[in-house]
Amino acid sequence: MNSSFAINEDVILLPEDAIESQRQLLEGEKEVVLEEEKVSPYTKRALKAIIEKEYNNYDTEGLLNKQLKAEFQKGIIKDAQFELNSIVTLKQNIEDNNSNLKANYQTMQLGLAGKFRSEKEGYNFLFELSPNIHDNFIQRFVADAWIQTKRIPNHTLMFGYSRAMVGYEGGQSQYNLPFLNRSQTARVIGNARKGGIRLKGDYKYVNYDIGGYSSDTFHREFFPGVETSAWVNFKPLANVSDKYGKLNIGGGVQAGNRNSYDFFTTTAAIKYDYKKFWMLAEYANADGSNGGAGLTTKKSQGYNLTLAYRLTKKAEVLLRYDDFDSDKKISNNNTKEYTAGFNYYVFGQALRFIFNYVFCQNDNRADSHKLIFGTQFLL
């Protein structure tokens, strides 16, 4: 089969001096002057497109989204969007008067997404390039691998490997998280990708996400059992959100079997967004779970509360209280995390600077502190 394609010629990495000049322009320090001998015409056009675009702080569109998009004139694939996403962290751990400083890639992902010729069908493939201490490189390599159709009105039907909606934060993309780390509940119970079929519905006052999956997580086993998950979110202020803000009240369940072990979790969350303020409260209870931390038959529960305020269109401060009991059969076993955060959205989520201070209060071991600096970059 013969096919032809065209890709925008603006594809090029930005030099450091161009990025610095752009920053000074945004902060009103000086007018940007791009020297001919330092910056190519292609880079100028790409930089101009980035500067002129209005970025929403919750928009995960990459900096060179248009420049890295290929369009095919023939064949079943209509277009292909190339992605390169990264979160780099510098972490200082302090425990028992001992401290260590560590820099690492929290994530480095390469992706390819787009639409088929019909436009109602799409695909997404995302590959994890950074190593993980819990699994080998191959087990974490395929992050997303799915196709979807939107032929059912108000619905998206997906087939393949994706992040299951177990809890509100546990089902969110890492690039939309307010802090560098998920809450303890989301890390243990949620935050796992599964292979299966899921149906997502979206209406004015309600949306939902229902899926049936293999109970394997991160390609550790081949079909060790089945599980289902369902999340329903109500939006009672959808008709008056401009006046009273956005309110989302949601809840869900996850149930399944893996290697003859049963697990069942329930989650609930409230999110409210009004002008410069937003908050998120979430609770989870598990009679065994099969999330990012792996399979466990322990009965656990956790709850957390996040409060945030937007100082400007680009700057945001946050506080989170996070309490987790990993085994309800054991007393004095809770772990509490108090997190203070600051986000600066240079170009929305496409370029974000993050600072988190975390105080970990433990019932059965020494307390600790963490200072974490992060840079999020979506190309």
Instruction: Tell me if 54 is assigned to some domain.
Output: no
* DSSP-derived 3-state class of residue 46: helix
Number of domains into which the chain is organized: 1
Report how far residue 317's alpha carbon sits from residue 342's, in angstroms, rounded to the nearest whole number: 5
Residue 49: per-residue pLDDT: 73
**Phi-psi bin for 219: left (phi > 0), alpha (psi -120 to 50), beta?**
left
Cβ(124)–Cβ(139) under 8 Å? no
Instruction: Tell me if 333 is assigned to some domain.
Output: yes
Residue 119: per-residue pLDDT: 83
Per the DSSP assignment, residues forming a β-bridge with 302 are: 284, 324
Residue 158: per-residue pLDDT: 97
Residue 65: per-residue pLDDT: 84
**Phi-psi bin for 287: left (phi > 0), alpha (psi -120 to 50), beta?**
beta
Residue 9: per-residue pLDDT: 37
Residue 12: per-residue pLDDT: 35
Instruction: Tell me if 108 is assigned to some domain.
Output: yes
* DSSP-derived 3-state class of residue 302: strand
Give the largest Cα separation in the chain, rounded.
Answer: 69
Q: Which helix (H) or strand (E) holds 194?
A: strand 193-202
Per-residue exposure over 278-309, b if at least 16 CB sit within 10 Å of its own CB, e if not = bbbbbbbbbbbbbbbbebbebebbbbbbbebe
Report how far residue 102's alpha carbon sits from residue 90's, in angstroms, rounded to the nearest whole number: 6
DSSP category for residue 15: P
Instruction: Tell me if 228 is assigned to some domain.
Output: yes
| 82-122 pLDDT per residue, tens | 999 998 888 888 766 666 778 777 889 999 999 999 889 99
Instruction: Tell me if 63 is assigned to some domain.
Output: no
Instruction: Tell me if 20 is assigned to some domain.
Output: no
Residue 169 phi, psi dihedral angles, 5° rounding = -75, -30
* Residues ≥6 apart with Cβ < 8 Å to 145: 124, 125, 126, 160, 161
Per-residue exposure over 320-344, b if at least 16 CB sit within 10 Å of its own CB, e if not = bebbbbbeeeeeeebbbbebebebe
pLDDT along the chain (379 residues), means of 10: 37 45 50 52 70 74 86 92 90 72 84 92 93 77 94 96 93 92 94 94 97 91 93 97 96 95 96 96 96 91 97 96 94 93 93 95 88 92
Residue 366: per-residue pLDDT: 86
In this prediction the pTM is 0.83
Instruction: Tell me if 56 is assigned to some domain.
Output: no
CA dihedral 5, 13, 132, 213 (to 10 degrees): -30
What's the CATH number where 111 sits?
2.40.160.10
Query: Nearest 5 degrees, angle CA 222-CA 107-CA 7?
Result: 95
Instruction: Tell me if 155 is assigned to some domain.
Output: yes
Structural domain boundaries enclosing 171? 78-378
Cβ(161)–Cβ(193) under 8 Å? yes
Report how far residue 142's alpha carbon sits from residue 127's, in angstroms, rounded to the nearest whole number: 5
